[in-house]
Amino acid sequence: MNDLNSNTALNNENTALKKQIAQLEKQNQDLREQLFLFSKRLNFFFHGTERGYWERNVHNKSMFLSKKLIALLGSHENILTSKDYSSLWNEIIYPEDVPTVDKYLKKLCSSEIQSYSLDYRVITRRKQLLWLHEKAYIFKKNEQGDAETILGIVSAIDDKKNLETILNESEKKFIDLLETMLDGFILFEIIESDDEDAQIDYFLIDINKAVENLTALKRINFVDNSFHTIHGGNYAFLEDLLKKTYCIKRPQKTEFYDKIVDRYFEINTYLPEQEQVIITFNDITERKIAENKLRESKNLLQDIIDNSKNILLYITDIQGKFLLVNNSYAKVYGNTKDELLDKNIEEIACPKCAKKHKELIQTLIQTKQLISNEESYTIRGREYNFLSTKFLLFDNKNIPFAVCSVDTEISELKKVEQQLYIEMQKMEMYAQTAPVMILVLNLSNEVLLINEKGCEIMEYEVHEVVGKEWFGKFVTQEDCGKHKYRPNATYLRKAERKN
């Protein structure tokens, strides 16, 4: 009975052991599969990506290089693996970077540090410089806790370094530009409080030399200060400009006279980023002085133009649209200057005047010569006479763009001229019909006029006398010396007849 019980117990124990062995075999199989998958992932990480790796034994300095690292270095495996680690590194690492790499590697081998991350340059087989990023750490330690195996993961960062170089060069150029530019430049950081009032202040990030040269603001006063503490009363308006720029999120522009330095500035503000505001100062003093002088000259010219009562001045474009008129021209047509501007001459002037103006524009364009003539028009029921001068105006490309007309009103002069002509006609009629000789001389003693009675007395034709010198040719020699000019004088002289 006892033997039977013992056999049963042994069978049960044997069965339990078999189950445990089966479970252990299954766990072992699972671990093998997991290890296989991990090995595939690790192999993909080191060989299927752009990273390479190396493994080094601290004690005998033997090392292993992955195929990717060999490819990165541009060397064949048999060449690299035939050399010890120290010789290899001394040959391929750029000389300037050797001390830094050696320093960190020694610290890692002595367990002074547990890992390091470093950028350095190597010389490839083709004698080209290649930037690498290396992250190394202690992979295995001995029983005393000292480093036994070191693992390094390496990736090429040439593109990154090239980009950094470009960015650094661009940053340097930008900084140099800011420091050498003539315009002032101030960069502020916006600080908004969290309280209910939501107060806004502006802290300086940077300022260029031009600001100090142009204004009374100094860099030393800006550093680590807010705008409230540095602007002073003379620049208080800038705070409102900064606030407006920040609140409406749009650039602002204004002009400002700095009485401290006696200069005019054009000030622009804009937001390069959400929490920053830039102010630029542009010295426009010379421009403002020129503008003021131009404005004064323009006002003076306009005053001269508008106060020329008998001169009608107007400028039209080639199509006849008014660009400028003076008060005298507007008054003749019963309009104001503003009412005439931008209107065509055909809408304002009399048809005859408008047609004549258009014709003269074409003549001017063809000949490019000044035109001056007399013109007569009936305007608003009144007769006007003008001495008109017209000429082209040219742009900076020597292309005509407008016609300037200067019309001098000579209506009264024409009336006087007409009256004088009538009087002269009367005098000439009287002279010709007078019963005595009438003679008119100029100051050179030349005969200007002789009437019919005079020609009859002298027995000369009119053309034989007019234009000739009276004394010496017609007056006897003995009386020539007696001639003196006196107003209202009576002389007795002898003259020689033709025959």
CA-based nearest residue to 362, from 397, 332, 319: 319
Please state the separation of Cα 485 from the chain's center in Å: 77
pLDDT per residue as tens, the chain (499 positions): 556 666 777 777 778 777 888 888 888 887 777 776 666 555 655 555 567 888 888 888 777 777 787 777 776 555 555 555 556 666 788 889 989 988 998 899 888 999 999 999 988 877 888 899 999 998 888 888 888 888 888 888 888 888 888 888 887 877 777 777 778 888 888 777 666 555 677 777 777 888 777 776 676 666 666 666 665 555 667 777 888 888 888 888 888 888 878 888 888 988 887 788 888 888 888 988 888 888 888 788 778 777 777 788 888 999 999 888 888 888 888 888 888 888 898 888 888 888 888 888 899 989 889 998 888 888 888 888 888 899 999 988 889 999 999 888 887 777 888 888 888 888 878 877 888 888 888 888 888 888 888 888 888 888 888 888 887 777 765 665 554 544 444 555 566 666 5
Q: Please answer whether residues 121 and 154 qualify as being in contact, where contact means their C-beta atoms are separated by less than 8 angstroms.
A: no
Are 198 and 264 in a shared domain? yes
Q: Is residue 12 part of a domain?
A: no
Residues 273 and 318 in one domain: no
From residue 426, how far is each of 83, 448, 455 by CA, in Å? 134, 17, 20
Residues 147 and 211 in one domain: no
d(CA 498, CA 465): 11
Q: Could you tell me which of 251, 273, 255, 261 has the C-alpha nearest to residue 205? A: 273
Looking at the fold, whether 283 and 314 belong to one and the same domain comes out as no
pTM recorded for the entire structure:
0.42
Residue where a domain terminates, one of 94, 123, 158: 158
- Same domain? For 53 and 154 the reply is yes
Helix, strand, coil percentages in the chain from 3-state DSSP, rounded to 5: 45, 30, 25
Residue 219: count of CB within 10 angstroms of its CB: 14
**Is 442 inside any structural domain?**
yes
Residues 323 and 369 in one domain: yes
213 and 149 co-located in one domain: no
Verify that 74 and 132 share a domain, yes or no. Answer: yes
Does residue 379 form part of some domain? yes
- Residues 142, 236, single domain; the answer is no
- In terms of domains, do 151 and 191 share one? no
The CA distance from 92 to 132, in Å, is: 12
Domain assignment present for residue 57? The answer is yes
> How far is C-alpha 413 from the geometric centre of its chain's CA atoms?
55
- Read off φ and ψ for residue 260, nearest 5 degrees: -70, -45
Residue 167 lies inside a defined structural domain of this protein: no
**Are the C-beta atoms of residues 17 and 25 closer than 8 Å to each other?**
no
Residue 324 resides in a domain = yes
The answer to the question of residue 317 being in a domain is: yes
Q: Is residue 492 part of a domain?
A: no
Print the domain residue range for 208.
181-287
How many distinct structural domains can be found in the chain? 4
CATH code of the domain in which 321 resides: 3.30.450.20
Same domain membership, residue 113 and residue 209: no
473 and 400 co-located in one domain: no
